[in-house]
Amino acid sequence: MDVGWVYTIQESMHAYAANVYTSVTEELSKAPDRRFIAVEQEFFRLWWDAVATDSHKKQVRQLVKEGRLEFIIGGQVMHDEAVTDLNDEILQMTEGHGFLYETFGVRPQFSWHVDPFGASATTPVLFALAGFNAHLISRIDYDLKDSMQKNKKLQFVWRGSPSLKEKQQIFTHTMDQFSYCTPSYLPFSNSSGFYWNGVALFPDPPKNGVYPNMSLPVTKDTIHAYAKTMVENIKERAAWFRTKHVLWPWGCDKQFYNSSVQFNNMDPLMKYINQNSKEFGVTVQYATLSEYFKAIYQSNLVWDLRGSEDFLPYSTEPYQAWTGFYASRNILKGVARQASSQLHAAETLFTRYRISFPDGPVAKDWALDKLRALRWAVSEVQHHDGITGTESPKVANMYLQHLMQAMMGAEELLAALFLLPHNLNLPNNLGSRYHKKGVHKTLEQHVIVYNPLAWNITTIINITATFPSAAVFDDDGHPVPAQIQRSAESNMTYDLFIVVELGGLQHRKYLIKFSEKKCSGRRLKCDWTYEAKGVKFERRFTPSSLETGRRLLPVLNDCYKLMFDQDTNLLHSITYLQEKKTVRMTQDFWEYHANGDVQAGPISDNYIFSANESAVRAYKAVKMEIIPGKVVTEIRQHFYREKNDKDYTYSITTRVPECFGSRPRCHRLEQTYSLGPLHLNTEVVLRTSSSLQNNRTLYTDDNGYQMMKRTYRKFINNTLARNYFPMVRAAYIEDDLSRMVLVSDGAHGVSSQANGQLEVMLHRRLWNNLPWNLGYNLTLNDSSVVRPTLWLMLGSISTTSKLYHREAIELQHRPVIMPIDQPQRPWQEKKTKGSPVRLVVLPPNLHLLSFSVPGWNYSSNHNVHLSHIRSDQDLHSEPDYNRVLLRIMHLFEEGEDPELSKPVTINIKNVLQGVGEVKVLEERSLTGTWDINSLQRWKWNTTDNLDTNKEGCWSCGDDAFTVTISPKEIRTFFVHFASRSF
């Protein structure tokens, strides 16, 4: 049941989804041999909270206890695997698992990842860390599946991480060519087979209960023909697997909303087959996924190994490469990532507040409601028809609406946490103040800046201003380096760049003094705020009739020398100064022209990218402006579709930062682009062409967790599109000397179509006349202007290896900027010297993945929790506000860096002492539902039979708070702090 694809969640709940759980619950209770698996929790939780009666809930508890209703995966959704980020995959699983464990005491141990468009190598690692015993996938390349099927290789043990290897391997089952739906062809009927409840009807269920395309009933006249059809299909599939047990899925999308008619037809059919098993040669039974995998496990076979290769990209036919969705609905992808980042900031800030000020005025139940709303929205959009951009326009709008509403709530929470007094006996930040007397030509604004990362950072923030002059001061009254200039987006506003230095999980308040007049004289503030002015270069036409490369203009900082060609207004080369190595490089926009007529050839749509010819240059003229600065130098390049167009269609804004603070930030070239509106049936790429000799090999990340080597492959058909890959956080190309890295604030498609080239698909606008697309309104007529951001780094392989993991995270989790007033007359605060925010700082190769108050209320002891659930006590739990969920991840692979790839030993009590005193530390599974000491996953026999239960070094120091974290490990803990009273 898709959470949001063609129809909105509300439409699906009304038309069929609520009826699925009501009717399945009632029908399972009628016969003890019936079974059902439920996958995505969002629909189930909506049903449980708003539809299910007390009787239904009692029945469900009993069915779950007996194992006849089984929750598979258990996340809020079946998440996409190509364009989702690690943080959000973990979040949506944690939300679903927390609900299931608190409510039923069950912990999913098997996956049913049948519908995502390709399979990532990160997913099996996460499922193993969550305690799963087996993984199930379906959508992989058609030609690869055919080969695996013929050679009985559809089942294997997958070691998704090259660093974790056998420690987190998992048995994986690949669905055969019939995939996850029941084969519907019946040789004796024109109707689909085995779908006796028909097809769900929208917007309302039919009042007479008669649905379209209901299968021919099982009667004495049809039962033998049904049995023969089913058995033949079972035997066909059995030939592709190694054991005598065949998984035969019964159902499909939007099924079982009338479970009575389903079971009342299948029951006698199965009975008939079993009564005639000698004739048919098979027996059949209802089974849950755990019963199937248990039978496979007990077969005790030795299984082939698969390393850290993934199954991306995915093609269904020679001209159907599902690589277009990597870039579909750029705005939705961007908002989803912004919401995730905001959630992380709000979680960490609220957690600090709860521990430090448990009786503070920010109501804990109100705060948790805001966090849960954003968790729900961020989890929901990870669905494989959500963040992928493959949904109908109204569903895309639904996702955006849910995200924006929840983000507004989180914004309110952040404001309350920043501004309300932490102790009721103290005045708040804004209440005790009065305007200074006298005549004032300056206006003042106060801004709070929060660093949501557990690292000390020095970075540049940008605040939009309406005044041409400004001076900035930190919370100690010291002047801060800043720069002000005309905005890149509007002639009516200014960009104010401020250099901020923030400790881990620290927020600081900055004072900005604005003035209508330009800064003049030798006043102190003039020395600290630089008023930058631009130099404009006339429009140049492409292709240029002039000889290029004659008039090069340098832009320098301490890391790079960028050369721009005044004859083209394009980038010409970059020299990374540390090693005095120059790389020829240019960046511009190219477009693929898509076919919209199915009669004329292969099409592109929400899912598919079909390039009928090579990309062509997307512009005919370029204008450039360079704004030299003391904080940042900005290069603005505007690309015009036609030579004499008044408005540009594309732009690149490159910010070259100067060095500030203890850690140089100059290696980060921050680029923001604008694209659109596009012409119809156009797919636009940013193409970076360089002198690097990469032989069309590139590296892209799997979900922000690990980098995958992507070697260019030639195919009989569709080679261009099948060499596109998803980029969630990072991509790079390299040769023996240099590496060029791009890190991103959202998911895109990426490819290397020529030597030295890296192209990123940033925007698509498509329409076609395929009846299936038109019937479901799966159009991508996206006329928006998109503004993605990429950061570019260039350097030696060893230098960039140290940097890009952290840079990708710093781009994702940029400082939160909260203006707490509008520019106004100066006011005087009554000085209340509060204690400074103490820092939380991790080593550079460890990342604070999660620091939150989940709120789920269950005992850490499984048996105690089960006894509570099975008692007759009131099962409505108040949230647990005292349990903190902590996750720490090692960013580096084994052998990636001589120092940063080493295991790291930390004392968590010491790390978190800036928050409070840690009293209890418990290590848990990834989603928190297992005590790690009691988690014993199945050990599958493999060709090398390595020990899968090797313990990591948990308590390697003198006390229970010392942990050692090895490369690519994600360690999850419950933390309890000593209570504070004021």
**CA–CA separation, 60 vs 49, rounded Å?**
13
Q: Are 725 and 714 in contact (CB under 8 A)?
A: no
Task: Sort 376 into a burial class: Cβ within 10 Å, 0-12 / 13-18 / 19+.
Answer: middle
Q: Which two tokens stand for residue 604?
A: 């592109």
DSSP line for 717-779: S-HHHHT-EEESSEEEEE-SS-EEEEEESS-EEEE--STTEEEEEEEEEB----HHHHHTT--
The DSSP result for 128-164, as a single string, is: HHTT-SEEEE----HHHHHHHHHTT-SEEEE---TTT
Residue with tokens 């809930």: 57
**8 A C-beta contact, residue 28 and residue 68:** yes
**Of 326, 385, 396, which Cα lies nearest the Cα of 683?**
326
DSSP for 891-932 reads ---TTSSTTTTS-EEEEHHHHTTTT--EEEEEEE-TTS-SBT
Name the residue type at position 9.
Answer: I
Q: From CA 343, how far away is CA 336, in angstroms rounded?
A: 11
Active site residue 588: no
One of 80, 115, 565, 588 is an active-site residue; which one? 115
User: What gap in Å lies between CA 4 and CA 390, rounded to an integer?
Assistant: 10
Give the β-pairing of 529-531 and 482-486. Answer: parallel
Closest to 139 measured CA to CA, from 290, 296, 288, 322: 322
Rounded to whole angstroms, the Cα distance separating 26 from 30 reads 7
In contact, 345 and 450? CB cutoff 8 Å: yes
Cβ atoms of 760 and 733 closer than 8 Å: no
Which uninterrupted H or E stretch holds 98? helix 86-104
Rounded Cα distance between 375 and 386, Å, is: 15
Alpha helical stretches, state H, 196-312: 223-238, 259-275, 277-280, 289-298
CA atoms within 13 A on the CB side of 377: 30
Position of tokens 């996750």? 887
178: left (phi over 0), alpha (psi -120 to 50) or beta: alpha
- Cis peptide preceding 788, ω within 30 of 0: no
CA pair distance 824, 55, nearest whole angstrom: 61
Q: Helices marked H in 381-512 — which ranges? A: 393-419
State which H helix or E strand residue 187 sits in. none
Residues involved in catalysis? 115
